[in-house]
Homo-oligomer: A and B are copies of this chain.
Amino acid sequence: MWLQREIGLQPRSRGFYLVTGEVVDAMPEIAELSVGIVHLHIMHTSASLTLNENASPDVRRDFESWFSDAVPERASYWTHTLEGPDDMPAHIKASLLGPSLTVPVGEGRLKLGTWQGVYLCEHRDAGGGRSLVATVWGE
């Protein structure tokens, strides 16, 4: 079985968001797989995807704090500044976290750990809507 589908995510302000439900609901066919993989790919260079703790909103807030501290807006070495001070840090953060996730599927559902959820990582102040390509394969 192969399936590929685009998933649109609404505009969000800069920060880290739990989107596991939105993503899983868009692929009900996962229930038919005894074993397989879900691949999620974000079509952008200033937003990214990761898996992390799905319970405490303060974890997601602390993600934003650490990344904004580690990749500062006002560093002397930036030369790509035409698109605003949040743009070049957004590119770096996007590559640190990565543009895609591969999640195993077993017995009809994502095999995530108890505390693992899918994060949309929005690195622009106003990045607009974001598009994912979800690709699923298995048997």
Contact = CB atoms under 8 A, between A and B. Distances in A.
Nearest to A51: B99
Interface of A: 2-4, 35-37, 39, 41-45, 50-53, 56, 58-59, 61-63, 65-66, 69-71, 75, 77-80, 88, 91-92, 94-104, 106, 111-116, 119, 131, 133, 135, 137-139
Contacts of A88: 59, 62
B138 A95 contact: no
Copies per complex of this chain:
3
Given A35-B135, A51-B95, A51-B99, A62 B79 contact: yes
Nearest to A112: B43
A45 B39 contact: no
Given A35-B135, A99-B116, A139-B2, A80 B104 contact: no
A105 to B, nearest CB: 8
